[in-house]
Amino acid sequence: MATHTWQLPDRTLSIGPRPLIMGIVNVTPDSFSDGGKWFDHERAVAHGLELIEQGADLLDIGGESTRPGATPVSVEEELGRVLPVVRTLAQSTRVPLSIDTSKAEVARQCLDAGAAIINDVTGLTGDPAMPAVAISRQAAVIVMHMQGTPQTMQLDPQYQDVVAEVHKFLEERLAALAVLGIGPERVALDVGIGFGKKLQHNLDLLAHLAQFQDLARPMCLGVSRKGFINRVLGQPGLVEQGNAGTLGVILHAVSHGAVQIARVHDVAALHAALTLYLTLAERGKRHAGTPDSPV
């Protein structure tokens, strides 16, 4: 896997061959997977620190559910959920923090409190003030593709060629942000699995994810416990199956050099899976063509 770099306000991250693990901290009552579980500031902070102990390289903190049909929340409510968590975590760890928001004011206050990354499901198109916030704080950004909004995205998404269309969107966003003053070195990209995509669209994107490496930016993959996994497995609603399926999808992407940041709920499981996978992959490279000695 090619090595990528990603510029944050206070450091440059080098990525590869092992992808970074981004642990999810949902401070929401209604997220599709763990809504309400960490809907308390102290519990959310403790959960974030636990994810770091389990191997998270980054934390992604969100206060508004983006599940299909989710009800939007106000700036004030979202800030009330995430700002204390960001502030406390920033004082407790050097692990870079990402704020998962499409609201510029939420991003601004969280960046000022110690976050380093804006993870915006609208690709910095939902709030016209978002690019200026990213520029003024020298924030890194994750630009995601989504057809529609969380309220409408799964009604009837349509594509002629989902891989080509998502690629074109991300390429155009990179160029547009560069014109505004957000250089590509600060940008990671996300194809937006489950955001305005039917099952076949998700599978096509995952099967061809390596094609996005020509954009020369880190690719963030968010498939953790997504509904398409259990649909493929024929076991809807089982979190355990979603966790296992998540690992399968991510390892497939890693094997093709197609992912640099893996955003997950179950950090410990992914950390273990990556460690074993990469250990075996490295051994295979070292011993290619050389048979092992008999035991």
φ/ψ of residue 40, rounded to 5: -160, 130
pLDDT in tens, 76-120: 999 999 999 999 999 999 999 999 999 999 999 999 999 999 999
Q: What is the CA radius of gyration of the chain?
A: 19
Question: DSSP class of residue 236?
Answer: T
Peptide bond into 150 cis (omega under 30): no
H/E element, 284: helix 267-286
Cα 137 to Cα 106: distance, rounded to the nearest angstrom:
13
Look at 240 and 232; give whichever has higher pLDDT. 232
Higher pLDDT, 71 or 279: 279
Over the stretch 263-272, which tens digit does the pLDDT of each residue have? 999 999 999 9
The tens digit of pLDDT for each residue in 4-54 reads 999 999 999 999 889 999 999 999 885 445 444 545 899 999 999 999 999
In the numeric block, which tokens belong to residue 226? 């997504």
Confidence of residue 291 (pLDDT cuts 50, 70, 90): low
Domain 4-286 has CATH 3.40.50.2000: no
Question: ∠78-194-24 over CA atoms, to 5°?
Answer: 45
Q: So which residues are the catalytic ones?
A: 226, 263
